[in-house]
Amino acid sequence: GFEQLTEYIRQNHYRTALWGAGESGKQFLEGYRKYGADTDYVTDSDVRKRGTEFMGHTVCSYEDVRADVNVIFVTNPFWLADIIKTVNDPAKHYVSLYPMVEYGCDPEQVSGICAD
């Protein structure tokens, strides 16, 4: 769950972007922050959300932070394939958060936390 994810990111000195400034993103950040962690950026494909505040972050375009990000938290599994195509970078890691959010971050129910 969150503890393993947080440790993995810290050990590798990764910079992160949360892709999805909605309810699932909020749930993820609330849980993630309980472990003393936070995302570096919040991005969203919805241009209407860009420039707005989301849990202490200004929502931006992924293109604005592309060079700084190693790990992308994807809040909606429906968009995972499209996000991977958009990013188009084999060096990036993707974390699909849906099982973690849906199942309360039970590590037994989360399979394949990181897929690259």
pLDDT at 113: 40
Report the SS3 class of residue 116: coil
Identify the CA nearest to 94 among candidates 113, 66, 111, 109: 113
- Mean per-residue pLDDT, 69-84: 88
Q: Which has the minimum average pLDDT: 31-35, 73-77, 112-116?
A: 112-116
The end-to-end CA distance of the chain, in Å, is 18
76-81 long-range contacts, CB within 8 A, separation 24+: 76/20, 76/22, 76/24, 79/19, 79/20, 79/45
Record the pTM: 0.82
What's the gap between Cα 41 and its chain centre?
A: 9
Query: pLDDT category, 98, cuts 50, 70, 90?
Result: low
Task: Give yes or no for residue 107 having a pLDDT over 60.
Answer: no
Query: pLDDT category, 104, cuts 50, 70, 90?
Result: very low
Alpha-carbon distance of 62 to 87, in angstroms, equals 8
Q: Model confidence over 14-51: pLDDT tens digits?
A: 999 999 999 989 988 998 898 899 999 999 999 999 99
